[in-house]
Structure 1
Amino acid sequence: MIVLSNPTIIANEINVIHSLFEEGLQLFHVRKPDYSIKEMISFIAQINPEFRQQLVLHSHHELIENFKINRIHFTEEKRKKYNLEKYKNRDIHLSTSTHSITDFNALAPEFEYAFLSPVYPSISKENYFPETDLLEAIKNRTNTATKLIALGGINAENIEKTLTAGFDNIALLGTIWNTENTIKNFKSCQEIVLSYLQ
């Protein structure tokens, strides 16, 4: 299971991130689109080094060397402009974002997994709704080299339906950060995912 950071500052955020890892979080996407490189350095530096291998950087990819991070994420826009050759034959895990099954199917095999979103109306972004029924659309999946991760409006009530439809795993954002029950929500979702994927 994957959790994305809130795009803006959240009170007690670093402590929450540590708690999520301690509860068994697999991967944490550091998505802070407006952070300067200085702000990003300060943010990552506060995260316990033992969890660095589970961090995925969405921006300021050059910091992977400084912090010994080996995972980077490309937005759809960056993926289309970027030459992935520089990451070939290096121990770096690549992921990306997609918004249609057609784009997902066309991904290069270098991508370990990709988000497909929004599956449901977003919890964190107002007025951000699916334009197509992605649960139906993934019946046309042909790319099996890249894991397909559901993002957008995912919560404990719809995880099972999402995985049954054919997604390989889920990613959480609003369910984690738009609540006072962050850890409780995480554990509820984790329990469902683990029982389904076992």
Structure 2
Amino acid sequence: MEIIVITSPDAVPGEAVVISELLDSGAANRVHLRRPYASAQEMGKLIEAVPQRLYGKLSVHSHFDLAIRYGLGGIHLNSHYSEIPAGFSGLISRSCHSLADIENAMQEDYVFLSPVFDSISKPGYESKFSNMSLYIANRFYCGKIMALGGITPEKLLPLQDIGFAGAAMLGCVWSAFLSGHINSFISNLICIRRQLNI
């Protein structure tokens, strides 16, 4: 089971250090740089603040030319950036908000399905999926669906039982960082991953 962390949509001081710690420690397998209002220059500065050895574990949600320039490992397609740049050979992902959306994203390497649980970062954004529908979808689209929305380390076991290929975290990570508890969060996530053998 893969663990993906998505950056806060707004710049967070010190986030490059957190990104590095998450990846170097093995707490996360990949980090998605999602900064919808950032310029290419601002995104480039964030990328350059992360050690180059980790570039293959980064995906961008915008300014796809940066993925080629820096040799990043992935791009995330969306309504504003829907074209795969020529020459890009890394991972391709997309967000889906219904089971029907997944059918239209079969060419991608993986998809985020959200919200699987009620969102942490978007209050009022509630899950509309039953466990049975998620179980069936994961059997049908084996190995492609990453759970997103309301994900915390404590929810990894039920996600594993349902059959998700992975989980993406956003709100719980940056809440822990901003409250000064990121080190204990990372330790807890690593501990849970070891317990679940993921």
SS at match of 1:21: helix
2:51 pairs with 1:17: no
Instruction: Say whether the 8 Å CA contact 1:55–1:69 is kept in structure 2.
Output: yes
Q: How many corresponding residue pairs?
A: 190
**TM-score, normalised relative to structure 1:** 0.86
Instruction: Say whether the 8 Å CA contact 1:19–1:183 is kept in structure 2.
Output: no
Alignment correspondent of 1:175: 172
For structure 1, list consecutive stretches of 5 or more residues without a partner in the other structure.
Answer: none
The alpha carbon displacement at 1:197 in A equals 4.6
Alignment correspondent of 1:137: 133
Whole-angstrom distance in 2 between the partners of 1:62 and 1:85: 7
Following superposition, which runs of at least 4 residues in structure 1 exceed 4 angstroms of deviation? 83-87
Whole-angstrom distance in 2 between the partners of 1:83 and 1:18: 28
The alpha carbon displacement at 1:86 in A equals 4.6
Alignment correspondent of 2:192: 192
For structure 2, list consecutive stretches of 5 or more residues without a partner in the other structure.
Answer: none
Task: Give, as a single letter, the amino acid of the residue that structure 2 aligns with 1:191.
Answer: C
Structure 1 189/136 Cα, relative in aligned 2: closer, same or farther at 3 Å? farther
**TM-score, normalised relative to structure 2:** 0.86
Instruction: Say whether the 8 Å CA contact 2:64–2:85 is kept in structure 1.
Output: no
The alpha carbon displacement at 1:72 in A equals 0.6
SS at match of 1:60: coil
The alpha carbon displacement at 1:103 in A equals 1.3
Cα RMSD (Å) = 2.1
Taking the TM superposition and a 5 Å limit, the aligned residue runs for 1:48-197 are 48-75=51-78, 77-78=79-80, 82-83=82-83, 86=86, 91-108=89-106, 110-130=107-127, 132-141=128-137, 142-144=140-142, 147-179=144-176, 180-197=180-197
Percent sequence identity is 27
Task: Give, as a single letter, the amino acid of the residue that structure 2 aligns with 1:70.
Answer: G
